[in-house]
C-alpha cells in the first residue's frame, strides 16, 4: 500500500459500469491510511486499512453534502459501494487497476494524465465555497473568476463587480493586497457570490493546484475552489 501514498489517479477506463458523460473519477491517497475520491459531485473520503494481500480495504467512507444532478449523486453512491467492496488492486508503473466482482476501474497517475495548470495566465472560475471541512456550491446564476499575472497582479470578477489587485506568490502562499472593485450593487446570486469571494482575497492564503483545480484557503478555514477554463 505504501506505493500508493502521496499519489492521485484519474480514471481512463471502466468495465461493467458507465460513468456519467463528461465525468471522471479521481482517487487520491494523500497520506498513509487515507483516501479521497471525487466522481464529479461530492468530495468523498475514507480510511485505508493496511492488510496483507492484494485487496484494497476502505472503511468509514463519508463525504461532503453538495447538491448535484441526480446522475452524479448516484455515481457517488456507486463509487462508495465499489470502493468499500474490497476490490483487488494492482499497480504497474503509473497505472492502477481496481477489480471488483463485476466491475473494473483503470486509473492513471494524475501527473501523467492531467498535469497541474500554471497559476498565471489561466482563467480560474469559482465553483465551490469552503467552510472548514464543508463544501457548498456557489449560488446559481452567477460566475466569479480570477486571472493571475507573472508580475504579481490579479484581475477578475467577483460575480458582481470587476476586480484588480496585488497577488504576491511565495511557494504555496499568496498574499492579496489592495484589491479594488467597481461599485455596482447586485442583488440575488451575484451579490451573494461577491460576499463569499471578496473576504478570501484579503491577506495571506494557502494555495493548492491539483490538475485543473485551484484551492485558496484562509487560515480560519474559509476558502474557494476554482476550475481552470482557459
User: How high is the pLDDT of residue 216?
Assistant: 98
Q: What percent of the chain has pLDDT over 70?
A: 99
Residue 2 has pLDDT above 90, yes or no: no
Cα(21)–Cα(61) distance, integer angstroms? 24
Decide: 179 and 164 in contact? Cβ < 8 Å: yes
> Which of helix, strand or coil describes residue 193?
helix
Residue 154 has pLDDT above 90, yes or no: yes
User: How high is the pLDDT of residue 157?
Assistant: 98
What's the whole-model pTM score? 0.64
Decide: 218 and 200 in contact? Cβ < 8 Å: yes
**C-alpha separations of 30 from 43, 98, 177 in Å:** 14, 18, 32
Cα(165)–Cα(148) distance, integer angstroms? 10
pLDDT band at 64 (very low <50, low <70, confident <90, very high): confident
Residue 1 has pLDDT above 90, yes or no: no
Amino acid at each position: 500500500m505504501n506505493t500508493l501514498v502521496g499519489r492521485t489517479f484519474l480514471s481512463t477506463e471502466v468495465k461493467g459500469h458507465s460513468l456519467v458523460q463528461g465525468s471522471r473519477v479521481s482517487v487520491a491517497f494523500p497520506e498513509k491510511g487515507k483516501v479521497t475520491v471525487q466522481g464529479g459531485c461530492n468530495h468523498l473520503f475514507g480510511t485505508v486499512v493496511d492488510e496483507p494481500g492484494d485487496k484494497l480495504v476502505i472503511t468509514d467512507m463519508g463525504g461532503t453534502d453538495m447538491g448535484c444532478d441526480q446522475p452524479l449523486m448516484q455515481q457517488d453512491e456507486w463509487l462508495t459501494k465499489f470502493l468499500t467492496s474490497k476490490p483487488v488492486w494492482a499497480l504497474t508503473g503509473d497505472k492502477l487497476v481496481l477489480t471488483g466482482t463485476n466491475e473494473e476501474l483503470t486509473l492513471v497517475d494524475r501527473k501523467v494524465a492531467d498535469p497541474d495548470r500554471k497559476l498565471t495566465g489561466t482563467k480560474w472560475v469559482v465553483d465551490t465555497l469552503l467552510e472548514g471541512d464543508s463544501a457548498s456550491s456557489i449560488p446559481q446564476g452567477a460566475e466569479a473568476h480570477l486571472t493571475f499575472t507573472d508580475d504579481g497582479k490579479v484581475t477578475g470578477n467577483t460575480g458582481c463587480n470587476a476586480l484588480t489587485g496585488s497577488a504576491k506568490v511565495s511557494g504555496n502562499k499568496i498574499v492579496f493586497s489592495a484589491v479594488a472593485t467597481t461599485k455596482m450593487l447586485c442583488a440575488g446570486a451575484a451579490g451573494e457570490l461577491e460576499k463569499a469571494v471578496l473576504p478570501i482575497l484579503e491577506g495571506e492564503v494557502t494555495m493548492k493546484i491539483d490538475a485543473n483545480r485551484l484551492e485558496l484557503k484562509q487560515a480560519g478555514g474559509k476558502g474557494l475552489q476554482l476550475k481552470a477554463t482557459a
